[in-house]
Amino acid sequence: MLNEKHITVVKSTIPLLENAGPALTQHFYQRMFNHNPELKDIFNMTHQQTGRQSVALFEAIAAYAKNIENLSALTQAVERIAHKHTSFNIQAEHYQIVGHHLIETLRELAPDTFTPEVEQAWTAAYLFLAQVFIDREDALYQLNASLDGGWRGAREFTIDNKTVESDFVTSFELKPADGRAIAGFKPGQYLGIEVKPTNSEHVEIRQYSLSQAPNGASYRISVKREGEQSHEGNYQGVVSHFLHNELKVGDSLMVYPPAGDFYYQETDKPVVLIAAGVGATPIQAMAHTLANTHKANVSYFYACESKSEHTFADETKKLIELNNWQHQTWYRDQHGMMDLGKIVDLPIVDGEFYLCGPVAFMESVVRQLDAMNVSRESIHYEVFGPHAYL
């Protein structure tokens, strides 16, 4: 049971955490995978190689320690992580493993500081937070199973169609192998996809945004082919290459129910959709949904490297023209970077802004919106992979 003494002790260790930095979580992951290699079938090992997951976990641990007296400040983070966990099919027993290795990591990295009192406090703090996640994730699992066409865990789907959308992005239309109904979703959410690539020793789970409005019969994900093969035979993008180059129409893959806390929230206010590159995928589902409801006060701004990399170019053009939406496209090789300051009718005061794209792109857009005094509460964004704060 977490008590005031535990809270005081945990807060006293914040300098220790900050001094250790992401090295703490790097040690944690190395330790956990050495002792529990079966977890490599759940975690994205590419993110381990890049270090992004270690940084994200460290930031989450530090934020928890700093806000342990005010967990309401972490509500949004808990919701985002809980959704992501359901797309990996994380279970309560996984928290026991993670908790064990977290405590042992703290003991190994700070043996002089990690007294029995500190161990007791961090154990109580971890168990408290773990139960928050377990309860929220169980609620999401139950909700997913209770929906019309819903399910829990992995479900077999077949690839019904593959469509090349741009130089690097291909769409995959997925239909349930059992021919039964499928659950709806909120535009902006994603699917967890489980495959076993031929050149990977592990089962791989990835999340890909749904790129069409719900239709009751199929899901569409749109996947960017990532990375290049290394001299060791491994490459970032092992799953995207497998999907692009090896899986064919008629092939099967396992799918977890739609998840995600980034989605269009119905409003009478003007809506501004802003995307770059493959960030167009969740934005496209929103665009289809807005078109289906005949919403008029919509703007769509898109940026990418070149015309050949413009994902959904023809599809988006039709949506924009049919609904008379404001729009502009920036190809970096012709027009430079996106500059929202040149948009005359941008709804600065009452607009709702939805962003998705590379982190550097979204940081640039948020800086521009900040300079225009757009409220942060009106800016909604999705980061592919481990979360980053803008």
Nearest-angstrom CA–CA distance, 366 and 6: 38
Q: Nearest Cα to 244, choosing from 191, 202, 195, 201?
A: 195
Q: Of 137, 173, 194, 315, which is the active-site residue?
A: 137
Nearest-angstrom CA–CA distance, 343 and 340: 5
Q: Of 64, 95, 126, 208, which is the active-site residue?
A: 95
Query: What is the C-alpha R_g of the chain?
Result: 22
The 3 state secondary structure assigned to 60-124 is HHHHHHHCCCCHHHHHHHHHHHHHHHHHCCCCHHHHHHHHHHHHHHHHHHCCCCCCHHHHHHHHH
Active site residue 29: no
How many beta carbons lie within 10 A of that of residue 127, not counting itself?
Answer: 15
Q: Provide the CA 68 distance to its chain's centre, in angstroms.
A: 24
Q: What is the amino acid identity at position 279?
A: G
Query: Contact at 8 Å (CB) between 348 and 375?
Result: no
Give the pair of three-digit tokens for residue 85: 């966990």
DSSP letters, 256-306, are: EEEE-S------SS-EEEEEEGGGHHHHHHHHHHHHHTT--SEEEEEEESS
Query: Contact at 8 Å (CB) between 193 and 293?
Result: no
Active site residue 137: yes
Spatial strand order of the sheet with 352-356 comes to 326-331, 298-304, 271-276, 352-356, 379-382
Query: Contact at 8 Å (CB) between 83 and 133?
Result: no
Question: Could you list the active site residues?
Answer: 95, 137
